Structure 1
Amino acid sequence: MRTSDVLVVGGGLMGCGIALRLRQAGARVTVLERSIPGAEASSAAAGILAPQWESDGPGPFFELCLRSRALYGSFAAELRELTGVDIAYRPCGLLRIAFDEADLHHVESTVGWQHGMGLRAVLLDGQAARELEPHLSPKALGAAHFPDDHQVDNRLLVRALTMAAARVGTTFRSGHVSGIVHEGGRAVGVDLDGEVLRADAVVLAAGSWSSLVQGAGVAAQAVKPARGQMIQLQTRLPLLERVVTSAKGYLVPRADGRIIAGSTMEHVGFDKQVTAAGLARILDMALELCPDLGPAPVTETWAGFRPWTRDALPYIGEGPVPGLFLATGHFRNGILLTPITAKLVAQAVLGEKPSVDLTPFRYDRAPLTRG
């Protein structure tokens, strides 16, 4: 298999990461992308690496996210070595703020079960939270501090990972993949704008568009776009050191004074409009968390699509027919899960035993709750 051809459908972070790992293992790889690699969800995110903040409880998904977070330091160093691009990986920590008693109880519960797993999580009162972040709202009742939840500049990550995949010999082709080509009960290639491209393996990493690829075995409603609107504000000096979140959204501070604020979660099909109502919700959240952002100019707004699944779990590993592999449905955790997904899917394609049990993430799994 190490000298075989692999077609990767989708040139976002998942597709480029998988291509990088397959090329490093000796496979010949072509990435197929309908637009500019990384132009969709990969570039539209905020770059939060925060399994402890995001998770509802322990389970296979939480463990997968922790494993991927642990890879990021070496992943950033590898990309810098390959491309010269620093992806601004920052082990800055995260504060989850509570503004009412019910939310404070939720924060306390989260800290409790994570302590039970041996993870670092600290419960703070409002004053202690403001000692860490002096520009926090005086209305904050308390917070959970997750020092091991971090961030990366996802746009720099897109640039670096695309360059790295190309540098090790990945081929990139533009065009629309309308379907997977099957022969003898297995996937043998794709239809790219009417041209059949053949390969020994096909990896579907098309994000929110995965369900639109005919013959991939992904049901029409299995992966759907969830629109997320975002705002960038600019401050002269950084007002925050850590990622700061609440039940309503998040603020991600960059070292140059930019603050990324987000996000909405809307099921509106493939409508990528930025709306007044969406921006108003995000700005209200931002000012509630950090009132000193009031004078900050808005320098950019945008929207992107997260690949949503019913059980909030991704599809990773073998597909419904031999020769087809899936890497889609990562929803809000695509940036976080890029290193581990690339590793696991490459292992599956190469016929190796994946280093993580992929049963919870199979295409034919029973409905599961997120954990």
Structure 2
Amino acid sequence: MNDGIPATADLVVIGAGVVGLACAFRAIEAGLSVVVLEQGAVGTGASGVAAGMLSPALEVEDSEPALIAFARDSMARYPGFVAAVEAAAGLACGYRSEGSLWLALDRDDHLLLERLYAIQREAGLSTRLLPAPETRQREPNITPRTVAGLFAPDDHQVDPRRLVPALAAAIRRRGGNVVERAADARVLIDSGRAGGVAWADRRIAAGAVLLAAGSYSNALLPAGCAALPLRPVKGQTVRLRGPRVIDHVVRTPRVYLVPREDGEIVIGATMEELGFDARATVWAVHDLLAEARRAVPSIDELAIAELPVGFRPALRDGLPAIGAYGPAGLFVATGHYRHGILLAVATADLMLTLLTGARDERLAAFDPHRFAAKSGAGHGDRAERHGHDGRRSAAG
């Protein structure tokens, strides 16, 4: 079939979200031939719902040290990564670096901000507590009831709905293939090795296969390969459109508002343990808008443009699974939970290290085999504790 899809590739990636595409792009930069398969359209999974906050400052309060270090490393790599993608694709990724503003709207919020500030300063982050007048000066449209603020200048953002198409375009322009609507893809095992991928009436022989399909990754594992303790955590968001009312990411302990260059605001997000329930519900929209209006009353005049729902891939210990898994030649990159956009760059660089046969000491923390060595909850159920009651959280 003469459709430009090769019969062989050095790497086949299943999953065209930000993690899979970032891994594919880094592999192409290194000179590997790459084919990416996506069961639907590019960016229609969790990446298309994500707000795109790049906020290591958020992670220091309640995360494993390995994850904090990984997040900060990925953040440091982001500007160069975006520049490379934009140059290769000829498209902008919506990268912004103006920082984020955390609001305290009452005494309890203020105490929480002070505690968070102390943790962040101890971690070496350059956050700054602000009195109410300076907080309102930075964002005039926030509520006059603001009692204090915390400014995080090192928090950035990227627009996943621009980054993901730019990655796909960059891969194609660099000679790779991104195949959409490749439903029912399956890993081919030859003599105990992952030797390629088949879907529909097509097949590709591959030197390596990477599963990066988020919450759906277990369904792609070949027979005899133990399922990862992976589950979807539902996230509902609200997208508003209208005149620009804020310039920074604005957060409270209960909600975030992420402004886009075109006037869109992303409000989020719930964390619900409801499987793959894709409904946008009244309680979630009501709660998100009520908390957003409490922080920025002027959003009242904006229009509701969309009510997206996505599924964060969560593993039992809250850390991603990145590495070789199962038969030789098979790799996984999944379980990034709330941090897929932030961790995509470091994940891609770590995966390239694996694919080229090098070693990295960070692999131990994210080894997909780590769960087989533990029984029960053992290592703690950090991801399961977050949002277990299905209520709102300001997490991404």
Q: Distance in 2 between matches of 1:177 and 1:52?
A: 39
Displacement of 1:8: 0.8
Say whether the 8 Å CA contact 2:168–2:178 is kept in structure 1: no
RMSD: 2.3
Say whether the 8 Å CA contact 1:17–1:165 is kept in structure 2: no
**Residue 117 (structure 1) aligns with:** 123
| 3-state DSSP of counterpart to 1:364 | helix
Of 158, 167, 190, 2:197 maps to 190
**Residue 92 (structure 2) aligns with:** 86
**Equivalent runs, 1:24-39 vs 2, <5 Å:** 24-39=29-44
TM superposition score normalised by structure 2: 0.86
In structure 2, give the amino acid aligned to 1:240. I
Distance change >3 Å, CA 216–CA 124, structure 1 → 2? farther
**Residue 21 (structure 1) aligns with:** 26
Over residues 329-365 of structure 1, what are the superposed CA-to-partner deviations in whole Å (9 max), with x where a residue is unaligned? 11111111121111111121121223x6121111122
| Structure 2: gaps of 5 or more residues | 1-7, 384-396
Q: Percent identity?
A: 37
In structure 1, give the amino acid aligned to 2:82. A
**Residue 264 (structure 1) aligns with:** 270
| 3-state DSSP of counterpart to 2:103 | strand
Q: Distance in 2 between matches of 1:53 and 1:95?
A: 12
Single out whichever of 193-202 and 124-133 deviates more from structure 2: 193-202
Q: Distance in 2 between matches of 1:240 and 1:217?
A: 52
Say whether the 8 Å CA contact 2:221–2:227 is kept in structure 1: no
Check if 1:203 corresponds to 2:216.
no
Say whether the 8 Å CA contact 1:53–1:146 is kept in structure 2: no
**Residue 76 (structure 2) aligns with:** 70
Over residues 267-296 of structure 1, what are the superposed CA-to-partner deviations in whole Å (9 max), with x where a residue is unaligned? 222222212122111111110111111122
Displacement of 1:221: 6.3
**Equivalent runs, 1:156-235 vs 2, <5 Å:** 156-173=162-179, 174-177=181-184, 179-193=186-200, 197-215=204-222, 220=227, 222-235=229-242
Over residues 154-193 of structure 1, what are the superposed CA-to-partner deviations in whole Å (9 max), with x where a residue is unaligned? 1110111010111111123342345433344432233424
Single out whichever of 359-368 and 9-18 deviates more from structure 2: 359-368
Q: Distance in 1 between matches of 2:201 and 2:108?
A: 56
| Structure 1: gaps of 5 or more residues | none
**Residue 99 (structure 1) aligns with:** 105
Single out whichever of 158-167 and 68-77 deviates more from structure 2: 68-77
Of 344, 359, 368, 1:338 maps to 344
Q: Distance in 1 between matches of 2:324 and 2:355?
A: 8
Of 128, 134, 146, 1:128 maps to 134
Displacement of 1:214: 3.3
Q: Distance in 2 between matches of 1:112 and 1:66?
A: 18
Q: Distance in 2 between matches of 1:17 and 1:217?
A: 28
Over residues 46-70 of structure 1, what are the superposed CA-to-partner deviations in whole Å (9 max), with x where a residue is unaligned? 1111121244256110111111111
Say whether the 8 Å CA contact 2:228–2:368 is kept in structure 1: no
Q: Distance in 2 between matches of 1:277 and 1:221?
A: 32
Q: Distance in 2 between matches of 1:302 and 1:336?
A: 20
Say whether the 8 Å CA contact 1:210–1:218 is kept in structure 2: no
Distance change >3 Å, CA 33–CA 102, structure 1 → 2? same
Q: Distance in 2 between matches of 1:80 and 1:249?
A: 31
Distance change >3 Å, CA 203–CA 309, structure 1 → 2? same
| 3-state DSSP of counterpart to 2:245 | coil
Displacement of 1:146: 0.7
Q: Distance in 2 between matches of 1:247 and 1:219?
A: 38
The number of equivalent residue pairs is 367
Say whether the 8 Å CA contact 1:306–1:332 is kept in structure 2: yes
**Residue 294 (structure 2) aligns with:** 288
